[in-house]
Structure 1
Amino acid sequence: MSYEESGVVGLEGLSSFERFLVWIKKSLKGHPEVKTEIGLYATVVKIAPKLAIALSTDGVGTKLLVAELIGKYDTVGIDCVAMNVNDIICVGAKPIAMLDYIAVQDVSKEFMEDLGKGLYAGAKEAGISIPGGELAQLREMIKGIKEGYGFDLVGCAVGVMEPNKLIVGEGIKEGDLVIGLGSSGLHSNGYTLARRVLLSKWKVDDY
């Protein structure tokens, strides 16, 4: 099974997004303090001669559906923090804070506390704070596997760095050392395909 077969749009289907980017990129003109191109893991903006901030936003994706299936929600809070701070680190910045955006079908459901626990655990491990965020109840828009339990979880992280220490992959040359780090699992990537492949053969509680 391919990503396209699982419902993920391939590169040939991104022409509408490219037209969207045309307008977004116009906002960069006349703003030389933006030090990175659109498309990197994080965007770096110089705010003082020796200070820049790195910004990143990311969500947990369809792993949230797995959380619904097994009734375990704290881990996706950790995932949300990890996805964002990892992107901040990629450009050489130190993550310091993250805001969350939570859209829910029903704000009264008990999983909200578990989400909070997970976000706190992720923030503690990453050494950041979560000083604010947004909660939206969107009954007509948000649907999940279980009635009333649909939700989406997104974060927007900020980090700080010296502008001259930006890492974007420039200057790579033959002889440079490449360091690979082993992954502990899928984290929050590729779950649309993974769910389709695995759940077509097994139930979520099969071991």
Structure 2
Amino acid sequence: MLESYLTGLVVCGGIIVAIGAQNAYVLGLATRRQYHWWSAGLCMGADLALLALGMFGVSALLLAMPATLEAMRWAGVAFLGWLAFHALRRALTGRQGLGLAGGEVRGLRQVVLATLAVTLLNPQVYLDTLLLIPAIGAQQDSAATFLAGAGTASVLWFSLLAWGGAALSPWLSRPVAWRLIDGAIGMMMAAIALKLATGQGIPVA
């Protein structure tokens, strides 16, 4: 059982650590200290729910509905493109540092909706949590223990993003720091949107 747990921890950890739209969004909130634990908690909950659904057979249903993946792909491209545009615009025009205005002031409702959109409009999230990870888990001695390990990886990673980003915020009070952060986030969002648009890594009908 320990081997199944460690396999789930390593497999899921290796997949989610790769910087993506979800990670970049949580990190951006954390460095501004804007409801970052709410966002991280939503990401953890979504991962746990999707992983559990994948382990219990939803993956087969999703594979039988390729049109659903295609619709999610283009919705994700549009949303990530919108996020990239605004991040790159802030990188070019600048913003006030954390010590002044902290950038865009967002309410809890906006953060929750944006977090859900970044999470649920990315087809790669479904491919990882409903297909890839459960496929590996099905080969383990204990699927439940594997799922526990995968869930632990998600909780640890998003906790690290939320805590680490907030811990670094005192050093991010200068506008130039935010230009670099916004530029990096904008380029990552644009790269992910381009990858989705071209179908790289996404099985299209």
Bin the TM-score by the shorter chain.
under 0.3
Structure whose CA Rg is larger? 1
Greater helix share, 1 or 2?
Answer: 2
Greater strand share, 1 or 2?
Answer: 1
